[in-house]
Amino acid sequence: MKLFDEWKRILLSLPLKCLLPELCVGAVVVMDNVPAHKVKEIEPLIQSKAARVLYQSPPES
């Protein structure tokens, strides 16, 4: 469980340090469907800056 928590901390540090300071009101963050992008804490962080998240549709087979 500690390894998972460490990965989660690392994944959350990138949007906190790089993305959030650059977001403006009304911005749209487009993310693909990589499981790392679906950490439940990321979307509320983006929404806290009055921006929104748009997930790409999964590729069709």
Q: What is the pLDDT of residues 47-59, one digit of tens each?
A: 999 999 998 888 7
Distance between first and last Cα of the chain: 34
Q: What is the pLDDT of residues 8-33, one digit of tens each?
A: 777 778 777 888 999 999 999 998 88
- With a cut of 70, say whether residue 41 has pLDDT above it: yes
User: In the prediction, which pLDDT does 1 show?
Assistant: 61
When comparing pLDDT for 32 and 36, which is higher? 32
The torsion angles phi and psi of 27, rounded to 5 degrees, stand at -65, 155
Name the pTM for this structure.
Answer: 0.71
Contacts 24+ apart (CB under 8 A), 51-54: 51/23, 51/24, 51/25, 51/26, 51/27, 52/27, 52/28, 53/28, 53/29, 54/28, 54/29, 54/30
Q: Is 54 helix (H, G, I), strand (E, B) or coil?
A: strand
